[in-house]
Structure 1
Amino acid sequence: MNPEKLKRLKRNVRTGGKGSVRRKKKIVRNNASNTSKRLVQTLEKQKVTDMSGVQSVDFIMDDKMIHFGTPRLKYNYNGNTYLLIGKGENKPLPSSGFGTGGQPQISMKQLEELAKAQGLTLEEFLKQLKDKSGEMGEGLNETQEDEEGIPDLETFKVNEDEEEKKEEKEEKKEEKEEEKKEEKKEEKEEEKEEEKKEEK
Protein backbone atom coordinates (compact mmCIF):
# COMPACT_ATOMS: atom_id res chain seq x y z
CA MET A 1 0.00 0.00 0.00
CA ASN A 2 0.92 3.62 -0.34
CA PRO A 3 2.70 4.95 2.85
CA GLU A 4 1.15 8.41 2.48
CA LYS A 5 -2.32 6.92 2.35
CA LEU A 6 -1.59 4.93 5.54
CA LYS A 7 -0.49 8.11 7.36
CA ARG A 8 -3.75 9.82 6.39
CA LEU A 9 -5.75 6.88 7.68
CA LYS A 10 -3.82 6.86 10.97
CA ARG A 11 -4.63 10.54 11.56
CA ASN A 12 -8.35 9.81 11.38
CA VAL A 13 -8.19 6.93 13.90
CA ARG A 14 -6.74 8.09 17.19
CA THR A 15 -6.96 5.91 20.31
CA GLY A 16 -5.13 8.11 22.80
CA GLY A 17 -4.04 11.62 23.56
CA LYS A 18 -5.75 14.88 24.46
CA GLY A 19 -9.48 15.11 23.79
CA SER A 20 -9.93 11.53 22.64
CA VAL A 21 -12.66 9.23 23.90
CA ARG A 22 -11.50 6.70 26.43
CA ARG A 23 -12.32 3.13 25.72
CA LYS A 24 -13.53 1.14 28.68
CA LYS A 25 -11.90 -2.22 29.15
CA LYS A 26 -14.36 -4.93 30.08
CA ILE A 27 -13.24 -6.85 33.14
CA VAL A 28 -14.42 -10.45 33.06
CA ARG A 29 -14.56 -12.01 36.49
CA ASN A 30 -14.72 -15.78 36.58
CA ASN A 31 -16.05 -16.86 39.94
CA ALA A 32 -15.95 -20.51 40.90
CA SER A 33 -19.64 -20.31 41.77
CA ASN A 34 -20.52 -18.99 38.29
CA THR A 35 -18.61 -21.76 36.55
CA SER A 36 -20.14 -24.43 38.79
CA LYS A 37 -23.62 -23.00 38.14
CA ARG A 38 -23.00 -23.10 34.40
CA LEU A 39 -21.72 -26.65 34.68
CA VAL A 40 -24.81 -27.73 36.60
CA GLN A 41 -27.06 -26.01 34.04
CA THR A 42 -25.40 -27.75 31.10
CA LEU A 43 -25.58 -31.11 32.88
CA GLU A 44 -29.27 -30.57 33.64
CA LYS A 45 -29.82 -30.08 29.92
CA GLN A 46 -28.34 -33.55 29.48
CA LYS A 47 -30.98 -34.93 31.87
CA VAL A 48 -28.68 -35.53 34.84
CA THR A 49 -30.44 -36.88 37.94
CA ASP A 50 -29.57 -36.62 41.62
CA MET A 51 -28.10 -39.58 43.49
CA SER A 52 -29.34 -39.47 47.07
CA GLY A 53 -28.16 -41.26 50.20
CA VAL A 54 -24.44 -40.58 49.81
CA GLN A 55 -22.92 -39.52 53.14
CA SER A 56 -19.29 -39.10 52.13
CA VAL A 57 -16.91 -39.74 49.24
CA ASP A 58 -13.20 -40.51 49.60
CA PHE A 59 -10.67 -40.56 46.78
CA ILE A 60 -7.49 -42.43 47.68
CA MET A 61 -4.22 -42.18 45.79
CA ASP A 62 -0.84 -43.22 47.18
CA ASP A 63 -0.75 -42.02 50.82
CA LYS A 64 -3.22 -39.17 50.39
CA MET A 65 -6.97 -39.01 50.62
CA ILE A 66 -9.43 -36.38 49.39
CA HIS A 67 -12.53 -36.44 51.57
CA PHE A 68 -15.90 -34.95 50.55
CA GLY A 69 -18.38 -34.66 53.43
CA THR A 70 -22.08 -34.67 52.44
CA PRO A 71 -21.48 -34.16 48.70
CA ARG A 72 -24.13 -33.71 46.02
CA LEU A 73 -23.89 -36.43 43.40
CA LYS A 74 -25.50 -36.23 39.98
CA TYR A 75 -25.31 -38.83 37.22
CA ASN A 76 -26.39 -39.65 33.71
CA TYR A 77 -26.29 -43.41 33.19
CA ASN A 78 -26.61 -43.32 29.39
CA GLY A 79 -23.89 -40.68 29.00
CA ASN A 80 -21.64 -42.33 31.61
CA THR A 81 -21.35 -38.94 33.32
CA TYR A 82 -20.96 -38.41 37.06
CA LEU A 83 -20.76 -35.05 38.83
CA LEU A 84 -19.53 -34.59 42.40
CA ILE A 85 -20.33 -31.22 43.96
CA GLY A 86 -18.80 -30.39 47.33
CA LYS A 87 -15.79 -29.06 49.16
CA GLY A 88 -12.88 -31.49 49.27
CA GLU A 89 -10.38 -31.75 52.10
CA ASN A 90 -6.89 -33.19 51.69
CA LYS A 91 -6.22 -35.66 54.49
CA PRO A 92 -3.48 -38.19 55.17
CA LEU A 93 -4.52 -41.79 54.79
CA PRO A 94 -5.18 -43.32 58.23
CA SER A 95 -2.70 -46.00 59.27
CA SER A 96 -5.53 -48.40 60.13
CA GLY A 97 -6.71 -48.40 56.52
CA PHE A 98 -10.11 -47.08 57.54
CA GLY A 99 -11.54 -43.92 56.01
CA THR A 100 -13.51 -41.20 57.68
CA GLY A 101 -16.77 -43.09 57.31
CA GLY A 102 -15.48 -46.10 59.25
CA GLN A 103 -15.48 -48.39 56.22
CA PRO A 104 -12.35 -50.30 55.25
CA GLN A 105 -10.51 -48.45 52.51
CA ILE A 106 -7.14 -50.07 52.00
CA SER A 107 -5.05 -48.96 49.04
CA MET A 108 -3.29 -51.42 46.75
CA LYS A 109 0.04 -50.28 48.16
CA GLN A 110 -1.03 -51.26 51.67
CA LEU A 111 -2.33 -54.62 50.44
CA GLU A 112 1.03 -55.30 48.80
CA GLU A 113 2.83 -54.42 52.05
CA LEU A 114 0.60 -56.81 54.02
CA ALA A 115 1.25 -59.56 51.48
CA LYS A 116 5.03 -58.99 51.67
CA ALA A 117 4.89 -59.14 55.48
CA GLN A 118 3.36 -62.61 55.24
CA GLY A 119 5.76 -63.68 52.48
CA LEU A 120 3.06 -64.03 49.83
CA THR A 121 2.35 -62.48 46.47
CA LEU A 122 -0.59 -60.11 46.18
CA GLU A 123 -2.72 -62.67 44.30
CA GLU A 124 -2.07 -65.37 46.92
CA PHE A 125 -2.83 -62.94 49.72
CA LEU A 126 -6.16 -61.91 48.14
CA LYS A 127 -7.06 -65.56 47.58
CA GLN A 128 -6.26 -66.30 51.22
CA LEU A 129 -8.49 -63.44 52.32
CA LYS A 130 -11.37 -64.86 50.30
CA ASP A 131 -10.88 -68.36 51.72
CA LYS A 132 -10.79 -67.25 55.35
CA SER A 133 -14.08 -67.29 57.23
CA GLY A 134 -13.36 -64.05 59.09
CA GLU A 135 -15.15 -60.75 58.64
CA MET A 136 -13.39 -59.96 55.39
CA GLY A 137 -14.13 -63.43 54.01
CA GLU A 138 -17.81 -63.23 54.96
CA GLY A 139 -18.10 -59.83 53.34
CA LEU A 140 -16.53 -61.13 50.14
CA ASN A 141 -18.79 -64.20 50.15
CA GLU A 142 -21.86 -62.00 50.64
CA THR A 143 -20.93 -59.89 47.65
CA GLN A 144 -20.41 -63.04 45.59
CA GLU A 145 -23.85 -64.33 46.63
CA ASP A 146 -25.38 -60.98 45.75
CA GLU A 147 -23.74 -61.12 42.34
CA GLU A 148 -25.19 -64.59 41.71
CA GLY A 149 -28.72 -63.13 41.78
CA ILE A 150 -27.84 -60.51 39.16
CA PRO A 151 -28.55 -61.64 35.58
CA ASP A 152 -25.69 -61.55 33.10
CA LEU A 153 -25.62 -58.72 30.63
CA GLU A 154 -25.63 -61.14 27.70
CA THR A 155 -28.84 -62.88 28.84
CA PHE A 156 -30.44 -59.51 29.42
CA LYS A 157 -29.52 -58.47 25.87
CA VAL A 158 -30.92 -61.74 24.50
CA ASN A 159 -34.18 -61.12 26.35
CA GLU A 160 -34.31 -57.58 24.96
CA ASP A 161 -33.72 -58.88 21.43
CA GLU A 162 -36.50 -61.44 21.83
CA GLU A 163 -38.89 -58.78 23.08
CA GLU A 164 -37.99 -56.51 20.16
CA LYS A 165 -38.62 -59.36 17.71
CA LYS A 166 -42.01 -60.05 19.30
CA GLU A 167 -42.94 -56.39 19.09
CA GLU A 168 -41.88 -56.27 15.43
CA LYS A 169 -44.00 -59.35 14.66
CA GLU A 170 -47.01 -57.82 16.41
CA GLU A 171 -46.55 -54.56 14.51
CA LYS A 172 -46.34 -56.45 11.20
CA LYS A 173 -49.53 -58.37 12.04
CA GLU A 174 -51.33 -55.15 12.88
CA GLU A 175 -50.14 -53.55 9.64
CA LYS A 176 -51.34 -56.56 7.61
CA GLU A 177 -54.73 -56.47 9.33
CA GLU A 178 -55.06 -52.76 8.62
CA GLU A 179 -54.12 -53.33 4.97
CA LYS A 180 -56.76 -56.07 4.69
CA LYS A 181 -59.39 -53.80 6.23
CA GLU A 182 -58.49 -51.01 3.82
CA GLU A 183 -58.66 -53.41 0.87
CA LYS A 184 -62.11 -54.60 1.97
CA LYS A 185 -63.30 -51.00 2.31
CA GLU A 186 -62.00 -50.18 -1.15
CA GLU A 187 -63.72 -53.26 -2.60
CA LYS A 188 -67.02 -52.31 -0.95
CA GLU A 189 -66.75 -48.75 -2.25
CA GLU A 190 -66.03 -50.04 -5.76
CA GLU A 191 -69.04 -52.37 -5.57
CA LYS A 192 -71.26 -49.48 -4.45
CA GLU A 193 -70.02 -47.31 -7.31
CA GLU A 194 -70.69 -50.11 -9.80
CA GLU A 195 -74.21 -50.58 -8.41
CA LYS A 196 -74.87 -46.84 -8.75
CA LYS A 197 -73.64 -46.91 -12.36
CA GLU A 198 -75.90 -49.90 -13.14
CA GLU A 199 -78.92 -48.14 -11.62
CA LYS A 200 -78.31 -45.08 -13.82
Structure 2
Amino acid sequence: MNPERLAKLQAQGRTASKGTPRRNAPKPRTSVAQDDRKLQAALEKLSLTNLPYVEEVNMFLEQGTVLNFRAPKVHAAATSNTYAIYGRGEEKELTELVPGILNQLGPDSLASLRKLAESYQNTAAGKAAAAEEDDDEVPALVESFEEAAIEETA
Protein backbone atom coordinates (compact mmCIF):
# COMPACT_ATOMS: atom_id res chain seq x y z
CA MET A 1 0.00 0.00 0.00
CA ASN A 2 1.16 3.51 -0.76
CA PRO A 3 2.43 5.29 2.42
CA GLU A 4 1.08 8.65 1.23
CA ARG A 5 -2.38 7.23 0.68
CA LEU A 6 -2.25 5.48 4.08
CA ALA A 7 -1.35 8.75 5.82
CA LYS A 8 -4.23 10.49 4.01
CA LEU A 9 -6.73 7.82 5.18
CA GLN A 10 -5.47 8.06 8.76
CA ALA A 11 -5.90 11.81 8.72
CA GLN A 12 -9.55 11.40 7.71
CA GLY A 13 -10.25 9.39 10.87
CA ARG A 14 -12.54 6.82 9.29
CA THR A 15 -12.48 3.37 10.77
CA ALA A 16 -14.75 1.69 8.23
CA SER A 17 -15.31 1.87 4.53
CA LYS A 18 -16.80 4.81 2.68
CA GLY A 19 -20.51 5.31 3.30
CA THR A 20 -20.66 4.00 6.87
CA PRO A 21 -21.52 6.30 9.75
CA ARG A 22 -18.52 7.89 11.43
CA ARG A 23 -19.64 7.09 14.95
CA ASN A 24 -22.43 5.33 16.71
CA ALA A 25 -25.38 7.49 17.65
CA PRO A 26 -26.17 7.40 21.39
CA LYS A 27 -29.18 5.31 22.24
CA PRO A 28 -32.08 7.22 23.76
CA ARG A 29 -32.48 6.40 27.43
CA THR A 30 -35.78 5.42 28.93
CA SER A 31 -37.22 8.15 31.06
CA VAL A 32 -38.39 7.80 34.62
CA ALA A 33 -41.92 8.55 33.48
CA GLN A 34 -41.92 5.48 31.26
CA ASP A 35 -40.66 3.32 34.13
CA ASP A 36 -43.42 4.80 36.27
CA ARG A 37 -46.00 3.85 33.65
CA LYS A 38 -44.73 0.26 33.63
CA LEU A 39 -44.99 0.15 37.41
CA GLN A 40 -48.52 1.57 37.28
CA ALA A 41 -49.52 -1.11 34.78
CA ALA A 42 -48.08 -3.86 36.99
CA LEU A 43 -49.92 -2.48 40.02
CA GLU A 44 -53.20 -2.34 38.10
CA LYS A 45 -52.79 -6.02 37.20
CA LEU A 46 -52.68 -6.71 40.93
CA SER A 47 -55.88 -4.65 41.32
CA LEU A 48 -54.20 -2.00 43.46
CA THR A 49 -55.71 1.45 43.32
CA ASN A 50 -53.93 4.74 43.89
CA LEU A 51 -54.47 6.48 47.23
CA PRO A 52 -53.97 10.21 46.65
CA TYR A 53 -53.20 12.84 49.29
CA VAL A 54 -50.94 10.66 51.46
CA GLU A 55 -48.37 13.06 52.88
CA GLU A 56 -46.21 10.75 54.98
CA VAL A 57 -45.74 7.05 55.74
CA ASN A 58 -43.87 5.75 58.80
CA MET A 59 -42.87 2.11 59.20
CA PHE A 60 -41.67 1.16 62.68
CA LEU A 61 -38.82 -1.34 62.59
CA GLU A 62 -37.84 -3.77 65.34
CA GLN A 63 -34.49 -2.06 65.97
CA GLY A 64 -36.26 1.04 67.29
CA THR A 65 -35.82 2.99 64.08
CA VAL A 66 -38.47 4.29 61.71
CA LEU A 67 -38.53 4.07 57.93
CA ASN A 68 -39.97 7.45 56.94
CA PHE A 69 -41.40 8.28 53.49
CA ARG A 70 -42.22 11.93 52.71
CA ALA A 71 -44.80 12.36 49.91
CA PRO A 72 -44.83 8.68 48.88
CA LYS A 73 -46.92 7.12 46.18
CA VAL A 74 -49.31 4.66 47.81
CA HIS A 75 -51.41 1.98 46.14
CA ALA A 76 -53.73 -0.31 48.05
CA ALA A 77 -56.08 -3.24 47.66
CA ALA A 78 -58.31 -3.08 50.72
CA THR A 79 -59.92 -6.46 50.08
CA SER A 80 -56.60 -8.31 50.28
CA ASN A 81 -54.97 -5.93 52.81
CA THR A 82 -52.11 -5.24 50.38
CA TYR A 83 -50.24 -1.96 50.13
CA ALA A 84 -47.52 -0.78 47.76
CA ILE A 85 -45.53 2.21 48.96
CA TYR A 86 -42.72 3.63 46.89
CA GLY A 87 -40.70 6.78 46.95
CA ARG A 88 -37.61 8.03 48.74
CA GLY A 89 -37.39 6.52 52.21
CA GLU A 90 -35.10 7.58 55.04
CA GLU A 91 -34.22 5.60 58.13
CA LYS A 92 -34.59 7.81 61.21
CA GLU A 93 -34.50 7.40 64.96
CA LEU A 94 -37.84 7.28 66.74
CA THR A 95 -36.88 10.22 68.95
CA GLU A 96 -36.61 12.47 65.87
CA LEU A 97 -40.20 11.79 64.79
CA VAL A 98 -42.05 11.56 68.13
CA PRO A 99 -43.35 15.15 68.34
CA GLY A 100 -44.76 15.04 64.81
CA ILE A 101 -46.36 11.60 64.98
CA LEU A 102 -48.08 11.72 68.39
CA ASN A 103 -51.30 13.05 66.89
CA GLN A 104 -51.28 10.26 64.26
CA LEU A 105 -51.02 7.39 66.74
CA GLY A 106 -54.03 5.47 68.00
CA PRO A 107 -54.49 4.04 71.52
CA ASP A 108 -52.73 0.76 70.67
CA SER A 109 -49.79 2.59 69.15
CA LEU A 110 -49.52 4.88 72.16
CA ALA A 111 -49.28 1.85 74.45
CA SER A 112 -46.55 0.29 72.32
CA LEU A 113 -44.76 3.66 72.21
CA ARG A 114 -44.83 3.79 76.03
CA LYS A 115 -43.38 0.27 76.22
CA LEU A 116 -40.66 1.28 73.78
CA ALA A 117 -39.85 4.40 75.82
CA GLU A 118 -39.66 2.30 79.00
CA SER A 119 -37.29 -0.14 77.31
CA TYR A 120 -35.09 2.79 76.21
CA GLN A 121 -35.05 4.09 79.78
CA ASN A 122 -34.21 0.63 81.13
CA THR A 123 -31.34 0.20 78.69
CA ALA A 124 -30.04 3.68 79.51
CA ALA A 125 -30.33 2.96 83.25
CA GLY A 126 -28.62 -0.41 82.74
CA LYS A 127 -25.72 1.23 80.92
CA ALA A 128 -25.37 3.83 83.68
CA ALA A 129 -25.46 1.12 86.38
CA ALA A 130 -22.84 -0.90 84.49
CA ALA A 131 -20.61 2.17 84.32
CA GLU A 132 -21.00 2.68 88.10
CA GLU A 133 -20.26 -1.00 88.78
CA ASP A 134 -17.09 -0.78 86.73
CA ASP A 135 -15.93 2.10 88.92
CA ASP A 136 -16.69 0.14 92.12
CA GLU A 137 -14.66 -2.88 91.01
CA VAL A 138 -11.39 -0.95 91.01
CA PRO A 139 -9.87 -1.13 94.51
CA ALA A 140 -8.85 2.02 96.27
CA LEU A 141 -5.13 2.75 96.52
CA VAL A 142 -4.08 2.16 100.14
CA GLU A 143 -0.29 2.07 100.04
CA SER A 144 2.17 3.93 97.91
CA PHE A 145 4.01 1.95 95.25
CA GLU A 146 7.37 3.43 96.17
CA GLU A 147 7.25 2.06 99.73
CA ALA A 148 6.24 -1.40 98.46
CA ALA A 149 9.11 -1.43 95.96
CA ILE A 150 11.62 -0.50 98.71
CA GLU A 151 10.33 -3.31 100.96
CA GLU A 152 10.63 -5.89 98.14
CA THR A 153 14.23 -4.99 97.40
CA ALA A 154 15.21 -5.17 101.10
- Fold equivalence (TM over 0.5): no
How does the TM-score come out when normalised to structure 1? 0.36
* Greater relative CO, 1 or 2 (CA 8 Å, sep 6+): 2
